[in-house]
Copies of this chain bind each other. A is one copy, B any other.
């Protein structure tokens, strides 16, 4: 069955930049294309938006189909519509970015045949289409946003140590932070709750585990509080 319109229409896709954090490095999830164009090249997970499907739903559906990831933090990034961005025809892509904790969303066996793999951010292969530009835009957004919204927690397991949190911020912001000042500031927000538990199986003094108090953050935010780092 075919569909006919009076004027030509661009096709519409979604692409997702999935960031993962894993004791040490910030990574991005890529899939290897098995179809033309750019068959064999690495690309961001994504695909065509179905008719009568919201953009965010399309992004979540494609993520689930191509990478198995569900119920994760996902936010719209930017829309890319340069006419020559796809060699076939004019395809407009609405990009999203997602944050996951690698500890809680394990090795990502792609549910579908395509190969999916995590790449260190400073060691990514050449990407298909304009996906390098999309990735660069996503990195810039993550760096900018992590300072004034508590989204960094999405990259950590639900219980984490202050050391892990500081390390995450150092990797994302690409700058060294002072331990005492960092702890003072982050605990000063009152948004971290000491779970009473401590780290297990580490070859050094075990640290306390904290969790982020989402409820409290939402309450404070309504009253004009803003998160800063």
- Asked if B55 and A9 make an inter-chain contact with CB atoms under 8 angstroms apart, the answer reads no
Q: Give 1 or 0 for each of A4-38: 1 = CB within 8 Å of chain B CB.
A: 11111111100000000000000000000000000
Which residues from 51 to 72 on chain A have a C-beta closer than 8 Å to any C-beta of chain B? 51-55
Q: A78's closest neighbor in chain B, by CB?
A: B76
Assess whether A94 is interfacial by the CB under 8 Å rule: yes
- Asked if B4 and A9 make an inter-chain contact with CB atoms under 8 angstroms apart, the answer reads no
- Asked if A5 and B3 make an inter-chain contact with CB atoms under 8 angstroms apart, the answer reads yes
- Asked if A7 and B48 make an inter-chain contact with CB atoms under 8 angstroms apart, the answer reads yes
Cα–Cα, bound, A182→B10 (Å): 48
Cα–Cα, bound, A11→B6 (Å): 11
Which of the residues B9, B52, B55, B82 comes within 8 Å of A5, measured between beta carbons? Answer: B9
Assess whether A83 is interfacial by the CB under 8 Å rule: yes
- Asked if B55 and A79 make an inter-chain contact with CB atoms under 8 angstroms apart, the answer reads yes
Q: A6's closest neighbor in chain B, by CB?
A: B2
**Chain B residues with CB below 8 A from A51, complex form:** 7-10, 83, 90
**Chain B residues with CB below 8 A from A5, complex form:** 2-5, 9, 11
Cα–Cα, bound, A186→B2 (Å): 59
**Chain B residues with CB below 8 A from A4, complex form:** 2-5
Q: Give 1 or 0 for each of A68-103: 1 = CB within 8 Å of chain B CB.
A: 000000001011011100000010101000000000
**Chain B residues with CB below 8 A from A48, complex form:** 7
Q: A12's closest neighbor in chain B, by CB?
A: B10
- Asked if A3 and B12 make an inter-chain contact with CB atoms under 8 angstroms apart, the answer reads no
Which of the residues B11, B78, B83 comes within 8 Å of A53, measured between beta carbons? Answer: B83
**Chain B residues with CB below 8 A from A94, complex form:** 79, 81, 92
Assess whether A135 is interfacial by the CB under 8 Å rule: no
